[in-house]
Amino acid sequence: MKLQMVGCSHHGSSLEVRERLAFTAEQARDALRRFRCQFPRSEAVLLSTCNRVELYTASEAEDGCPTHQQVVEFLARYHGLEPAEIFDDLFERTGEDAVRHLFTVAASLDSMVVGEAQILSQVKQAYDLAADGDAAGALTHIAFQAAIRVARRVARETAIHQKRVSIASVAVADFALSVFDRFDDKKVLVIGAGEMGQETLAYLQAEGAREITVVNRNLMRAERLARQFQGRAAAWDSLLEHMAEADLVVGATGARGTVVSLADYRKIEKRREQRNLLILDLAVPRDFDPAIGDCIGVYLFAIDDLRKVCEENRKAREKEWPAAERIIEEETARFMAEWRHRATGPTIRRLRERSEEIKQEELSRVLNKLTELDDRSQREITLAFDRLVNKLLHPPLKSLRDEAEQGAPHGLLDALKRLFHLKD
């Protein structure tokens, strides 16, 4: 049996390369169908995220999986590229290394932001898509189910997922939730329509935020982001009007200078009637004059405040890393033992079945000739045949199991098949 992975990730490939190799869900479904037509003896699961593109393949037969070169060619041709353009960006993992890599990815130890929760759901979705399209099979099933189990164990037994390390997640979980205990009744204003604003809105919406307004110099971009979160867009010159009504304001523009000065805030301060206002200034340079934080009812947190918490959380996660790695190693060893047992199981079963057939043939021939024997004598002869077969089979089967435990059963496995004429 063989399990392998060929792919690229943020560790060794540029964003440009990952974008050229990325698959939408529909493309992944189509690619897996084409892959199975080209390599009918191989199972396949395709994992494609913004940080990685990885094709996992598995086959009962060693030569059932495509080679590294064949996978590179398949991925390149699908995207209209020449294999030489991407060959150096695609790395390969086989056998135990492939299993360890899959477990590490699912547990979010290989992510750009270690401990982020999205990757496990992406792994599940990749397997489900492959299973729905009949690209996955028994081998990929046990590998991906094991990966999901391992990821959950890492999350349960370590704190590696508990400390947030992205600016947006810390802004919401560590700061916003310290000011407000709920968001479903709060008015949220986001200034800027870039990635930081988008990520922060995702966390806020997950916490229950419903009334969302996006203001951006480019109204079209504001409308696009607002639609994504079922909010509304507003013109740039209405910023202060919406800020007067807001409970939480996120500053995430790319402006080169201050967007809201103290003088600007003074224009709307009376209208707020000292209601609490949380400002998360995630921009560099800052969008808000720091002096606004001294006004009554205003809680202003700038990027440096958030970065400090991110760094503290990152150090806390690093302390959990050895425990998470131990779990990965334990589970990899456990999986490989089961995998090797699965590899030798069919041969052992066929050898026993063949031995039983030969024993029964010879036993019947002997007993048919010795018709005068009583039942007790027949039973003794039958037991003698059983003992003889078991003693003959014990040494080769024990050697096969020992080699499987040590991780190299294939030489003896092939020898037994040839010696005893065992067909696959």
The total of other beta-carbon atoms located within 10 Å of residue 234's CB is: 19
pTM for this predicted structure? 0.63
Q: What is the pLDDT of residues 259-292, one digit of tens each?
A: 999 999 999 999 999 899 999 999 888 999 999 9
**Residue 184: per-residue pLDDT:** 94
The DSSP call for residue 66 is P
Q: Band the pLDDT of 405: cuts 50, 70, 90.
A: low
Q: Residue 408 pLDDT > 60, yes or no?
A: no
Q: Which domains does the chain have, with CATH numbers?
A: 2-162 (3.30.460.30), 167-310 (3.40.50.720), 350-394+407-424 (no CATH)
Catalytic residue flag (residue 50):
yes
Given the DSSP bridges, would you call strands 211-215 and 232-234 parallel, antiparallel or unpaired? parallel
Q: What is each CA distance from 389 to 222, 282, 320, 365, in whole angstroms?
A: 78, 76, 53, 16
Q: What is the pLDDT of residues 45-77, one digit of tens each?
A: 999 987 899 999 999 888 889 999 999 999 999
Q: What is the mean pLDDT of residues 214-234?
A: 95
Q: Band the pLDDT of 424: cuts 50, 70, 90.
A: low
Q: What is the per-residue DSSP string for 350-390?
A: HHHHHHHHHHHHHHHHHHHH-TT--HHHHHHHHHHHHHHHH
- The amino acid at residue 40 is P
Q: Band the pLDDT of 222: cuts 50, 70, 90.
A: very high
Dihedral angle of Cα 303, 305, 309, 312, to the nearest 10 degrees: 110
Q: What is the pLDDT of residues 91-137, one digit of tens each?
A: 999 999 999 999 999 998 888 767 777 789 899 999 999 999 999 99
Separation between Cα atoms, residue 291 and residue 265, nearest integer Å: 10
- In total, the chain counts a number of residues equal to 424
**Residue 312: per-residue pLDDT:** 80
**Residue 371: per-residue pLDDT:** 82
Q: Residue 406 pLDDT > 80, yes or no?
A: no
The DSSP call for residue 237 is G
Active-site option among 8, 37, 50, 310: 50
Q: What is the pLDDT of residues 153-205, one digit of tens each?
A: 999 999 887 766 778 888 888 889 889 999 999 999 999 998 889 989 998 99
